[in-house]
Amino acid sequence: MVIVGNENAVAAADKLFSGERAPHGIVIYGDRGCGKKTLAKYIAAKLLCKNTSAPCGNCKSCAMIDDDCHPDFVMVKPSLSSGAYRLEDLRNVVSESVTAPNESEYTVYLIADLDKTPVGAQNTLLKLIEEPPQHVFIILTACSKEYFLPTVLSRVVSIGVSPVTKEQCSEYLTKNTKYKQDDINKAVSSMGGNIGMCLEYLSGSTLRTCCENAEEAALAIASGSEYQLLKVLTVCGKNRETAETSLKLLENIVRDAVMLGMGCEGKALGSSEKAARNLAEKYSVKKLGSICTLPEKYLTGIKFNASLPAAMGSLCAEIKEITG
Ligand SMILES: [Zn+2]
């Protein structure tokens, strides 16, 4: 189990069980791709590995956790396709928690990525978090600590994870994957030290295409080429999901350009330094600020079923109107 960087988080995890009264639950928070699940598995391995230097990383228990098949490490799955948990999913955890572990001292429940689940659903887990059976340990994760109810946070230890440095990320990807160095460099340049997002970028998902679309659109805006902009937006407009992600990434680039214009360095996820710089050199902060609001406006339109190609066309026209 490799945890890159995040020394404070690992130290906090190691400290969890050193005191007299070990907690029965933790909250792990941090951006998507920053290693919440990896840290959760590290903590599960710490609890379930029977060797003295737990997690040893070599025993059957550690190997099963690594492969997501340990019977006492329960990764709860959301039953809605949106990724949200139903109340019933959480109630099941509560009712199953009375059952003794299969082969370990603990049953570790991981309820990951709660972000899309209504905040109030956490109340279902309150009793379990307050008075858990002796053998139960619960790990909850979400992107932001603010997602969690104060009543939950007051009863658990919370640990934050963050992106690592670009160098650490690049070194990890070079050592642990078979991707070409050139592709790794592109991924790190776009996603920074977010290992999970770099892996998604490299996996051939649409993320890479969307990053390239957004960069191309931003460069077209910077060079004042309405034709190029319309061309790339038309390509984006062929698929709803690609359009949504590309527009979000375009917004990140323009926002970085605004930051640069104000003399600050900003590097949002999936942004392009080159395109942000070109935009900042060409347009005033005021103009960039106006462009920055457009992707969100059209994203909302698309969500409410505006015609995708038409939306892309008018986005292009509106940008042209601002840039002159
Ligand atoms: Zn072990």
Is it the case that residue 19 has pLDDT exceeding 80?
no
What separation in Å is there between the alpha carbon of 25 and the centre of ligand 1?
A: 21
pLDDT of residue 52: 83
Give 182's pLDDT tier (boundaries 50, 70, 90).
very high
Distance CA 227, CA 221 (A): 10
- 27 with 140, same domain: the answer is yes
- 11 with 149, same domain: the answer is yes
Is it the case that residue 1 has pLDDT exceeding 80?
no
What separation in Å is there between the alpha carbon of 9 and the centre of ligand 1?
A: 20
**Which three-class secondary structure state does DSSP give residue 142?**
strand
Find the range with the poorest average confidence among 8-17, 215-224, 276-285, 302-311: 302-311
Instruction: Confirm if 254 and 218 have CB atoms less than 8 A apart.
Output: yes
Q: Domain of 219?
A: 205-323
Structural domain contains residue 180: no
pLDDT of residue 171: 96
Structural domain contains residue 228: yes
CA dist list (Å): 78 to 97, 157, 321? 17, 23, 45
Neighbouring C-alpha atoms within 13 Å toward the C-beta of 160: 11
- 98 with 20, same domain: the answer is yes
What separation in Å is there between the alpha carbon of 71 and the centre of ligand 1?
A: 15
Instruction: Confirm if 164 and 196 have CB atoms less than 8 A apart.
Output: no
What separation in Å is there between the alpha carbon of 153 and the centre of ligand 1?
A: 29
Q: Give tens-digit pLDDT for 234-269.
A: 999 888 889 999 999 999 999 999 999 999 887 888
Q: Give tens-digit pLDDT for 72-117.
A: 999 999 999 989 999 999 999 999 999 999 999 999 999 999 999 9
pLDDT of residue 59: 94
Instruction: Read off the tokens for 22.
Output: 């070990």
Give the global pTM.
0.85
pLDDT of residue 21: 75
C-beta contacts of 184-190 below 8 A and 24+ residues apart = 189/273, 190/270, 190/271, 190/272
Mean pLDDT of 317-321: 94
What separation in Å is there between the alpha carbon of 44 and the centre of ligand 1?
A: 10
- 156 with 12, same domain: the answer is yes
What separation in Å is there between the alpha carbon of 70 and the centre of ligand 1?
A: 12
Selected residue with higher pLDDT from 22 and 321: 321
- 73 with 127, same domain: the answer is yes
- 17 with 150, same domain: the answer is yes
Mean pLDDT of 181-196: 93
Is it the case that residue 170 has pLDDT exceeding 90?
yes
pLDDT of residue 74: 97
Structural domain contains residue 181: no
Residue at which a domain ends, from 160, 184, 218: 160
CATH number at residue 117: 3.40.50.300
pLDDT of residue 174: 96
Please, what is the end-to-end C-alpha distance for the chain in angstroms? 54
- How many domains does the structure of the chain reveal? 2
